[in-house]
Every structure is written in structure tokens, then in C-alpha cells.
Amino acid sequence: MGPLKTSEMPMSKSNEVLIVCEKPTACKKIAKILDENNKPKSLKKDKVTFYKAFRNGLELNIVSAIGHLYTVVKKDKSKTWDYPFWDVKWVPSHEVNKADKSKVEFIEFIKELGEKSDYCINACDYDLEGATIGYNVIKYCFGQNHVDKAARMKFSNLTEQEIINSYDNLLNSLNFNLIDAGLTRHEVDYLYGINLSTALTASTRTSDVVKFKLLSTGRVQGPTLKFILEKEKKIRNFVPTPYWKILGTIDIKGKEFEIEYEKARIDNLQEAKDVLKACRKKDGIVENIESRTMTRQPPIPFNLSSLQSEAYNHFGYTPSRTLNIAEKLYLSAHISYPRTGNQIIPDEMDVKAIITQLATLKDYKEPAEYLLKTGKIIPTKGKKTDPAHPPILPTTETPTSELKTVGEQKLYDLIVTRFLALFADPASIESYKIILGVNGNKFFLRSKKIIVPGWMDIYHYSRTKEVELPDIKIGQAFSLNLKREDKFNQGPSKFNQNSLRKKMEVNEIGTKATRASIIDKLYKRGYIIGKSIDLMDLGLSVTEVLDKNCPEITSVEMTRNLERRMDEIEEAKITREDVLLDVRGHLDPILQRMKEREEEIGNELGESVKRTWNKQRIIGKCISCDDGQLVVIRSLKTKKRFIGCTNYNICNTCLKTREECTCKCEACGQSKGTCECKEKVFVPKCDTSFPIAQKGTLTPIPGKTCAFCESEFGINYPMVQIWLPGARRPFNSCMNWVNHPKKPKKAKKVKETEINLEEEIKSGEEEIKKMKDQKKSKKIKKNKKTVKKIG
């Protein structure tokens, strides 16, 4: 695909070109850059905003596809629970998902614009998704003729220079290998996901316990859940064994320092006691001082994986949150494209221009100017490459005002300081080990001192903690304060979102762009919960059922091989049809096996679903009565849900349920359980209740209570996790949220201006004099009119 000049485009009399972008923000920015006067016309039809820009005699219609306008569905109209099926087609997404109803207007309007345009350009992100989105819009809105002559803009950031260069040097055709790989990935995921999910859900319909429960799995979800299950088993089967440590402190010139015994752990209690006994009331004599100098090389450039890890380590951001923030910074043109695996900055990239621009920012002026003065602008390199995009770097379009959110500020600082550190000198650290002898036993006192800070002065997130000691000489004696600590060896720790993402990456399942969303999906499905990930009963049951009946679905090897096969499509080694045939040959016997065991699988899943529902319903112990549990209840009258006590349905007098209550009704004299009087008053044993969100999945958080309510009211109200429909992530809420103070609205920022007090007073006096003169003038005019009238 060679470069294509816009002057070489085959045009008719209209001279109109349609440019399809992926997101509205990118669309607006590209339109402004491409317009000759940087003032494109913003036009709106119904809910669709598009832009008209003029450049080199061409009229550019620039429109956003707002993500995927087309999706995959079954080709035939077979019954919902019929499986397996293999024929699929692409249709407008609003035909499948009601939430995409607004996309109808976009499709219709893009078709209108296409009829007027001679030429189409795909300006979506240069990756699998961007290739797929742009191709589908051009193909299904305008037809194959437009696809054959369409061009491609390739850019890695949204700066003016990059976009103009991309437009002036268009790729003369779409990247069909990339398109085939993108289409195949969607179709394979659909075939796996829908067929397996249909099989699981259909099996619950045969259960005596639960008649229906929508369940899902997929080619990446299955192995990911298996990782969590295997970790859970290791944790459960781990048997802790005791060991002992000798810890101590030493006082040097009034300052206390920690020392450690020569053995990191002692497996025999008597040995630990003997060490303490031998060292009691004895001084430690400095026998030797060992020192060594270590050199720490600067870090390598960020790719998405390393950025997600650093953001989790330093800010606690989940992988999906990091990606979302990075996406906003990219759309603001402050950083390059974030979904990259590259760790090597291309030689042709003008990094000096980026550093020069960063020197204009107050926070980065000093390190940037220092790097420019050295004249050695050579970055470090990693091992991973990505031909489509460079590593994640700041751009020459630096923020002109404060970034909108704290998340954006933190992530931008992380990216900028990391980038500047790539060009800095190595750091030099001197470490010391002072060996103290006490009655035949040895203790170590360690210290670290940064001799040359180098890059660590810039990228402060990785700065080594220093422990500086006063001057110590061999032969000096110091009194020791020693103690024995009883310990148990720690078992494997649970996954968090970042460590699970790393596990997926190491095992080559999912892509750098999809791993975070797959983990989010497992939370939404109610399969996992918590920051330290716990496998819910439902997740456990689905994984065990799949592992028992079709172990290939939870196999890492199967998913990894499929990922590699799809990568080979992009490299033009195999065709899309080859992969789809492989998928059918692999998946069909598995689904037939599941169909044969449908009832058995349904009963296993049914029990698990029931246990999960019961667990999710119970929030915790009632804070008002002794024997009640707080549960999610749905009102028979209003049909709304709320959190209430299990004794809410028990009569306070006869201690029977509402339906069985034997107390006499005040209106008719019959028992309240059988009478239908509207006037009857039912007094519950406990009427404790709390309002909750009416939509979304509500999950109790075991052992977690509200710190605010504990300090304010002295009551440990349980916390719940709520995941609202369409939300990107869940949020934690106290069930007593109605009694929490409302968050104050953020005050609007007022621009600060310098005020000259003398000038302001003088100006004020002049204004007052002017007003008095005007008033006087009005009085004179009024008097003249009166005199004239009298005369």
C-alpha cells in the first residue's frame, strides 16, 4: 500500500470526500486540523453532528461512526435455544441491541453523505477494531465499489502535524489483512460465546431447581476463570507451617535502626530460643563492613501492559480504568495511541521536539532543559515491537490548562516523567552490610545511599528508599534489642485485576486491548467479586461444569493456538475461511457432547444458581434485632426492591408470617392472614429497611462495613457493591447512604487577575462622578420640559 496524494483521487464534479472517524472527539479534532482555516462548519441533522472542512479545493465531510455500527448475528432465524449454528452475518447493531437505537440515524445519515461523495477515507484508529469499523461502514453503507477505491489514514496521535501528514500521504487502499483478522476475531468470538452460552443457559431450563438463568462463557472467559479456580484450589489446599524470626533494633547516636538475624527463618522453636538466650545482655561487635555499588539503568518506554502495571502499583487503578484514562489523553492529543505493545521508539520520531515542548511546562521544565543541554537524546529500548504504533509517549501538543480529572493528571505525569527518564543517565546506588557478631551469632545492619540519582530524579515513582547510617568502624560495640516473632509461611495470594491481566498476557490469551474488558465482564456476570478476586459459587460451578464436560473450553492451549491462528491472518499466512472451518471442527463435537448431557449439566448449574441467589440476597446481620438478617426484598404492592430485615414479614404479636397471622383485624374481626381489608394494620417484628438502586446487580461485600457510619452513628452498616446497567465499573455503597452528607458541588474556577488598588479606586470614583452627572443632566431636562408646559 503506497502513499496516495489527494490530488490523485478519482473525482467527479462534486469534489466531495467522506472521512469516517471512530469517535466524536477524534472527528471534531481531525476536522479542525484538516480545514484550511481551522474553522470547519459544524452541522447537525437530528442527533448526528458532522463537520464540513475545505482543503486544497476539496469538500471534506467528516463524520463519526460512534464505535461499531454493525455487529454479528445468526444468518438464519432459528429458535433462540437451537444450537450449534455456524452461519453468521453482519447487520446494523440497532437490530440486535435496543440500546443502540440511536445508531439508526448515524447509518442513514452516513449513507446520505456517501451518495454525494466520490471517495471514502477510513480515519478510524489504526488497529483491528478501527479497520473493522471503517470497513463495515464503507461496505454496508456504500457497497463494494467504494471499498475497492477507499483510502486509509494512518496516524499514531492526534496532533496537527501527524494528522496533516497522514492525510497528505494516504495509504492507497484499506489493509485487507488487518480487516480480515478483525472480522474473523468478531465472528470467532460470537460463535464461541453464543453457542456455549446458549448451551449453558438451555441446560438450566431442564433443572428442577431453577427454570431459567442466563449464563455466558467464551473462548477467553473460560481459561481466565480456570486460572482463578486453580489459584483458589492452591489457597484452599495450602497448609501453613510455623517458623520463627529473630528481629531486633540497634541504637546508634540516638537513632534506631532495624537489624536482621543471619537466618531469614528458623524452623525450630528451640533454636530460636537458644539464639535469644545466647545473645541476651550481650553487645554486638562490628566484625566487618561490606559495600558494593549498583548501577540501575533507566526504564524502557511504556506499552499498554507496563502502563497498566505501573498505574495499578502507584495509584491502584484497574487495567480498564487506566485504558479509559489513556484513551481520553489520546483523544485530547496529549499522548500517542495507547493500545500498543511497542517498547522501541522509531528512529524517525522527533523526540527532541517533544522534549522541547515539555520544557514549556512548569513541572517538567528543569529535567527537559537539562536533557536538551546534554545533547545526548538517545532513548532506552525494550524488546517488544509493534509495527503499527510507537510506544505510549507524550506529544508536542501539551496541555494548555489543568487537565480535567485527577486521574488524567496522574497518568499524564506518569507518562511524561517516564518518557523523560528514558534519556537520562543511569542511577548509582551504594549499599552497605554491617556484620555484627554476638556470642557466635551474626546480625546484619543494611543501608542504601543514592550516589548518582540519574533518571530516578525524573521518574520519582521508582526512587529507591534510602537508609543512611552514621560513621561506623570495625570493632565498635552496640547494645541490641532483640525479640522472637512467631510466623506462618504464607500461601499463594489471590489474583487482583492487574495480576490476572498479567497471567492472561503471559499465557497469550486475549489481546492487549481486550484483557481488561474480559475481566470486567466476569465481574458483571457475577462470576467473581472483590479487589482481591474471589470466585463466586456461580463462577466456580460454570468453570467446574465446563472443565468436567468439555475441558477444551477452559484449556489455555486451545485459546492460545486460536489467537496465533488469527494473528497469521494479519500476516497473510492463512485465510479467514481456514480459521472459521477450524473453529467449527473443534467446537461442534464439544457442543454435541453438552447437548447429550444437558439435564446433568442443568442440575449442577441449577443448585449453584440457587446458592448464588441466596448469598447475593443476604446483605448481613440486622442492626436492630437479634435474630434477623438484612436481605433484598421486593414489595408486593410497589414492585420496588429495598433492603429489609427477614423479620419484616413476621407479625410482632403472634410471630407468624403475614399470610399465617392469627391476630384479629380491627375492621372485620377475622384473622389478618385471611382477611382482605385495606384498613388492617400489620405490625412487623422488625421494620428496619433501606432504599436501594432499582436497577443493576447488587452484591454483598463480606466483612466490609461503612467507616463513616461507624464514626458518626456508632453502627457497622454493611457495604454492598452495585453495578448499574451500562456502567463501566461497579461502585461500593453503604446501605445507609440516605443519611450520608451530600457531596458539595465543585465551585467554578474564577480566573485570577492582578489588581492595582490605586487604579481600581480611581476608576470607581470616576464611575460614581459619571453616574452623578448623568442624574443631574436628567433632572435639568425634566425641569425644562415642565417650564415649557407651564408656559
How far is the C-alpha of 509 from the C-alpha of 221, rounded, in Å?
A: 10
| Residue 744: cis peptide before it, omega within 30 degrees of 0 | no
What are the DSSP calls for 614-628, one per residue?
HHHHEEEE-SS-SS-
**Residue 103 in 3-state DSSP?**
helix
The DSSP bridge pattern shows strands 255-261 and 441-452 to be antiparallel
> Are the beta carbons of 689 and 648 closer than 8 angstroms?
yes
> Are the beta carbons of 414 and 307 closer than 8 angstroms?
yes
- The grid coordinates listed for 661 are 397471622
The phi and psi torsions of 522 (rounded to 5 degrees) equal: -65, -35
How open is the CA angle 123-128-134, to the nearest 5 degrees? 35
Residues 6+ apart with CB under 8 A from 212: 201, 204, 205
Nearest CA to 72 out of 95, 85, 86, 88 is that of 88
The DSSP bridge pattern shows strands 283-296 and 618-621 to be unpaired
How far is the C-alpha of 389 from the C-alpha of 580, rounded, in Å?
A: 28
CB neighbourhood size of 240 (10 A): 10
> Are the beta carbons of 496 and 533 closer than 8 angstroms?
yes
How far is the C-alpha of 137 from the C-alpha of 111, rounded, in Å?
A: 9
Q: Does the annotation count 337 as an active-site position?
A: yes
The backbone region for 15, taken as left when phi is positive above 0, alpha when psi lies in -120 to 50, beta otherwise, is left
What are the DSSP calls for 508-569, one per residue?
T-S-TTTHHHHHHHHHHTTSEETTTTEE-HHHHHHHHHHHHH-TTTT-HHHHHHHHHHHHHH
How far is the C-alpha of 700 from the C-alpha of 623, rounded, in Å?
A: 15
Dihedral sign for Cα atoms in the order 770, 775, 779, 781: positive
Nearest CA to 92 out of 75, 73, 79 is that of 73
CA distances from 445 to 272, 277, 486 (A): 19, 21, 21
Nearest CA to 547 out of 533, 536, 558, 560 is that of 558
Place of cell 495450602: 238
DSSP state of 663: S
How far is the C-alpha of 126 from the C-alpha of 415, rounded, in Å?
A: 21
Nearest CA to 126 out of 395, 400, 368, 337 is that of 337
Nearest CA to 123 out of 115, 114, 133, 113 is that of 133
How far is the C-alpha of 411 from the C-alpha of 308, rounded, in Å?
A: 10
Residue of 51, 70, 135, 337 marked active site? 337
The DSSP bridge pattern shows strands 528-529 and 534-535 to be antiparallel
Dihedral sign for Cα atoms in the order 260, 264, 269, 274: negative
The phi and psi torsions of 181 (rounded to 5 degrees) equal: -65, -40
How open is the CA angle 695-699-703, to the nearest 5 degrees? 145
CA distances from 753 to 361, 362, 636, 750, 756 (A): 21, 19, 61, 9, 10
What are the DSSP calls for 413-476, one per residue?
HHHHHHHHHTTSPPEEEEEEEEEEEETTEEEEEEEEEEEE-GGGGT-GGGPPPPB------TT-
Which residues are identified as catalytic?
Answer: 337
